[in-house]
Amino acid sequence: MFYFFYYFPLGLDVRPRQVAWATWMLVGACTAVFLLQRVWPEPFWLNWGSLVYIPAAPSLSSLVLNAYMHGGWLHLISNMLTLIVFGPPLEDRLGARRFLVLYHLSNVVANLVQGALVLLVMPGMADAGVLGASGAIAGVMGMFLIRLYFARLKIGYWAFMPLQAFTRGGTTTVPVCFAIVIWFCTQLVMAILQREGVAAGVACGSHLGGLLGGVGFALLLHQRPAAITERILQRGCEYRSRGLWYPAQGEFLEYVRRMPNDECGHLELARCARLTGADSMAAKHYRLAGRIVARAKRSDRLEEIAAEAERSLRQFAFEPQQQMQLAQARERGLNLGGALRAYTALVDSAPQASEAPLALFRGWKLASKLDDERAAELHARLCHEYPFAPESAIAALATQHAA
């Protein structure tokens, strides 16, 4: 039996895709308030009932503001470390505004549960203030348990058994579900033992209420289907990293069925299809990814996808509209050779498209500028295949003037 066992989170295998400004804002606010408490304590003592939640005399402001108050350096550091680990990936999935709202709502639920527990089990402690961000952070952990249940958590730990002369510390990686459930169980046991006066100063009810509140909020916001979908994508990436192309392809197919507007899923499926020899499937999903980024007017990303597809597949071209957008972006970027290839690829892949005459005309102009031997061929093709197009008339008139 462990007489003492403590662990703390160090990191996760899921990463945010952008800066988690809301999480860092909360960390900064809690740290600033704590330092202000130390330097200038009088205003905090004068407004104690408004800032710190007291079960016997609660105030509406304290239900929210007590999350920014901390009792000591260890209290602050342990809470902020947990928030820094769990907050950014969750904020990335929920969005900053929703994350902030749910963070504070979890704190309110945590305070109410702690107040009810104190009044029912330890009425003698009803005048003691409850402060700290642990209830709100427990809510973050509860939401994390639903939204990112598949993540793995790196922890630092210390185990101490004095009677057996045993002590051991180190780091290990465990499923995040295991770590959070173990933490919840320890808080539940401590809450039961508080009836006997054990650990009376720990707000176990706040921890339990916050975590259950976070789970409830995540379920109300239908985060479970989003979690399952992301797990499918992650599983596909795991298969791909192990060289299991066909299982990976199956996972990515399911993912794009669920998330048809996610370009990353289409790209992953295209790469797997390429590796399994399904070039037509690869081309299809490169085009779908291109359509998504072109719709968002992300020309730089469209260029990246085109460059990857052109390296992998012979005679690749996007759908005519997206191919024209790519060619024009290359031309604006003075990548004239790439623009010429894009224009000619459009005509070769979709000669009946409404964009084809303009693509041939622009290709002819670029080839002439680059002294490319294909200039005459492109001009002849434009005049022969699209004799009634305005671009054909302009090209014919230009050559007459040149002659």
What CATH number does residue 313 fall under? Answer: 1.25.40
36-83: per-residue pLDDT in tens?
999 998 988 888 889 999 998 889 999 999 999 998 999 999 999 999
Q: What is the pLDDT of residues 281-308, one digit of tens each?
A: 999 999 999 999 999 999 999 999 999 9
User: 197 with 310, same domain?
Assistant: no
Same domain, 163 and 288: no
- Give how far Cα 159 sits from Cα of 74, 178, 185, Å: 19, 17, 18
Q: Which of 20-24, 26-30, 301-305, 392-396 has the lowest mean pLDDT?
A: 392-396
How much is the mean pLDDT over the chain? 91
Q: Return the pLDDT at 1.
A: 41
Out of 221, 256, 271, pick the residue that ends a domain. 221
Calculate the alpha carbon distances from 345 to 49, 127, 200 in Å. Answer: 72, 77, 74
Is 123 contained in some domain?
yes
Please give the structure tokens belonging to residue 184.
């919840």
The predicted pLDDT at position 129 comes to 86
Specify the pTM: 0.83
- Partnered with residue 155 across adjacent β-strands are 9, 172
CA distance 4 to 86: 25
Judged by DSSP in three states, 395 sits in helix
Examine the domain organization and report whether 348 and 265 are in the same domain. Answer: yes
Q: How many domains does the chain have?
A: 2
3-state secondary structure of 374: coil
Q: Tell me, yes or no, whether 237 lies in a domain.
A: no
Domain boundary among 221, 252, 281: 221
Give, to the nearest 10 degrees, the angle between helix 299-312 and helix 279-295.
Answer: 170
Together in a domain, 213 and 248: no
CA dihedral 76, 78, 81, 85 (to 10 degrees): -130
Distance of alpha carbon 368 from alpha carbon 364, whole angstroms: 6
Q: Are 122 and 42 within one domain?
A: yes
CA distance 340 to 338: 5
Residues 327 and 291 in one domain: yes
Give the Cα separation of 12 and 179 in Å (integer): 12
- Asked if residue 372 belongs to a domain, the reply is yes
Shared domain for 62 and 162, answered yes or no, is yes
pLDDT of residue 325: 94
Domain membership of residue 230 (yes or no) is no
pLDDT exceeds 60 at position 251:
yes
**How far is Cα 214 from Cα 135, in angstroms, rounded to an integer?**
10
Q: Give me the CATH number covering residue 191.
A: 1.20.1540.10
- The confidence score (pLDDT) of residue 2 equals 44
> 162: which DSSP letter?
G
Q: Tell whether 205 and 248 lie within a shared domain.
A: no
Same domain, 214 and 343: no
DSSP string, 215-256: HHHHHHTTHHHHHHHHHHHHHHHHHHHTT-HHHHHHHHHHHH
Query: In this predicted model, what pLDDT tens digit does every residue of 165-180 receive, in sequence order?
Result: 667 778 899 999 999 9
Domain presence at residue 239:
no
Its domain, for residue 274, covers 244-378
Q: Are residues 275 and 213 in the same domain?
A: no
HSE, CB side, 13 Å, CA atoms: give it for residue 154: 9
Q: How far apart are CA 399 and CA 11, in angstroms?
A: 67
Distance in angstroms (rounded) separating the CA atoms of residues 208 and 98:
22
Of 162, 189, 221, the position where a domain reaches its end is 221
Is 307 inside any structural domain? yes
Band (158; pLDDT cuts 50, 70, 90) = confident
Tell whether 142 and 46 lie within a shared domain: yes
In a domain, 229, yes or no: no
Residue 342 sits in the same domain as residue 205: no
What mean pLDDT do residues 313-317 have?
91
Q: Assess if residue 40 is contained within a domain.
A: yes
Give the pLDDT score at 127: 85
